[in-house]
């Protein structure tokens, strides 16, 4: 189930570049698991079938999403993100090697090498920051999410949220004001989540982790 129609087309009269951010918030220790897996200390799958996986895409991270054109642009980016995930899951379904620990580890480490090269010219970045960047890299997280869904043959759904109004948010979450949010989970629908809604899952994680 998808919260957006995959067949929809969005025509933009103006291309607006929105600052966005993608992350995986469930399981909460996903960064630690990815790091262990990449270091050869665990094997695929490193997320159990019964565990809830949750990813998020935040649009307008720094400046918010303002006006109908930017909302339309963010909606188009959300649709593209969903399409990309669907394609990656299909690739995993059709490629048995995608479930081999060594194959997956090699692809993650190749991406990590690219990130390491980017850090060579940044004297202000330390090893902990580099490791955080690697374990939270969107390309690695996208593959991780898709690979586990395909391996377990799990259902999944996405839900998009329009720009939040300040009156809708508690003071501790004002950082979400005027931002758009896309959430994805490895279950059929929101009724299968451990919390009452997709947004509740994300908010509780955000409150715990700042």
Q: What is the pLDDT of residues 129-156, one digit of tens each?
A: 888 889 999 999 999 999 999 999 999 9
In the predicted model, is pLDDT for residue 72 greater than 80? yes
CA distance 198 to 132: 25
- Between the alpha carbon of residue 95 and those of residues 12, 40, 148, 163, the distances in Å are 35, 22, 13, 38
In the predicted model, is pLDDT for residue 197 greater than 70? yes
Confidence of residue 210 (pLDDT cuts 50, 70, 90): low
What helix, strand, coil percent values describe the chain, rounded to 5? Answer: 50, 10, 35
In the predicted model, is pLDDT for residue 195 greater than 50? yes
The three-class DSSP label of residue 88 is helix
Cβ atoms of residues 135 and 35 within 8 Å: yes
Higher model confidence: residue 120 or residue 27?
Answer: 27
In the predicted model, is pLDDT for residue 192 greater than 80? yes
- Average pLDDT, rounded, for the chain: 87
The three-class DSSP label of residue 55 is strand
Average pLDDT, integer, range 112-121:
83
Please state whether the predicted TM-score (pTM) of the whole model is above 0.85. Answer: yes
Per-residue model confidence (pLDDT) at position 119: 76
CA distance 28 to 19: 24
Per-residue model confidence (pLDDT) at position 201: 95
- Indicate the domain borders of the chain: 20-209
Radius of gyration of the chain (CA): 18
Confidence of residue 167 (pLDDT cuts 50, 70, 90): confident
Average pLDDT, integer, range 64-78:
93
Beta strand ranges found along 51-199 (DSSP E) = 54-59, 157-161, 180-185
């Amino acid at each position: 189930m998808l919260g957006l129609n995959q067949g929809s087309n969005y025509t933009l009269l103006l291309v607006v570049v929105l600052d966005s951010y993608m992350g995986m918030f469930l399981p909460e220790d996903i960064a630690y698991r990815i790091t262990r897996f990449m270091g050869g200390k665990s094997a695929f799958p490193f997320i159990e079938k019964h565990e809830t996986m949750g990813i998020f895409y935040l649009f307008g991270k720094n400046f918010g999403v303002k006006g109908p054109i930017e909302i339309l642009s963010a909606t188009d980016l959300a649709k593209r993100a969903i399409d990309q995930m669907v394609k990656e899951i299909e690739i995993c379904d059709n490629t048995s090697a995608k479930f081999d620990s060594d194959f997956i580890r090699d692809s993650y480490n190749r991406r990590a090498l690219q990130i390491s090269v980017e850090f060579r010219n940044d004297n202000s970045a330390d090893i902990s920051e580099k490791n955080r960047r690697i374990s939270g890299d969107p390309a690695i997280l996208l593959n991780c999410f898709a690979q586990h869904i395909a391996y377990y043959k799990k259902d999944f759904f996405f839900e998009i949220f329009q720009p939040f109004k300040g009156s809708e948010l508690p003071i501790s979450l004002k950082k979400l004001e005027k931002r758009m949010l896309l959430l994805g989970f490895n279950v059929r629908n929101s009724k299968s989540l451990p919390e009452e809604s997709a947004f509740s899952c994300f908010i509780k994680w955000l409150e715990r982790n700042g």
